């Protein structure tokens, strides 16, 4: 999920990945996005909603997040403020069968 299985990415690595077909999910809370800003070309799915979101019907996912739902083999990168929640998100996604 994160750069071929690596647990973390540098800013430059993320910028390079975003030039490819990667879905960037920011798992911060909505108030954090409002306060600190949105990361360009990312979608916000707060960590508490992530498991439910990754199990949604693809049509519902698109309607709610305005983005195509990732398949279990699509490249996905998770981010948060300090890395703790994004590592949890990676664990959740892996437990749901994402590779």
Q: What are the catalytic residues?
A: 80
* Burial of 76: CB neighbours in 10 Å, binned 0-12, 13-18, 19+: buried
Structure tokens at 28: 């911060």
Helix (H), strand (E), coil (C) string for 27-53: CCCHHHHHHHCCCCCCEECCHHHHHHH
* Vertex 3: Cα angle to 13 and 6 (nearest 5): 105
């Amino acid at each position: 999920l994160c750069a071929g299985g690596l647990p973390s990415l540098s800013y430059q690595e993320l910028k390079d990945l975003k030039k490819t077909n990667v879905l960037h999910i920011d798992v911060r809370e909505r108030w954090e996005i409002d306060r600190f800003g949105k990361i360009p070309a990312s979608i916000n799915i707060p960590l508490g909603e992530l498991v439910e979101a990754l199990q949604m019907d693809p049509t519902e996912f698109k309607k709610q997040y305005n983005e195509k739902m990732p398949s279990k083999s699509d490249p996905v990168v998770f981010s948060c403020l300090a890395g703790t929640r994004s590592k949890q998100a990676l664990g959740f996604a892996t437990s749901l069968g994402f590779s």
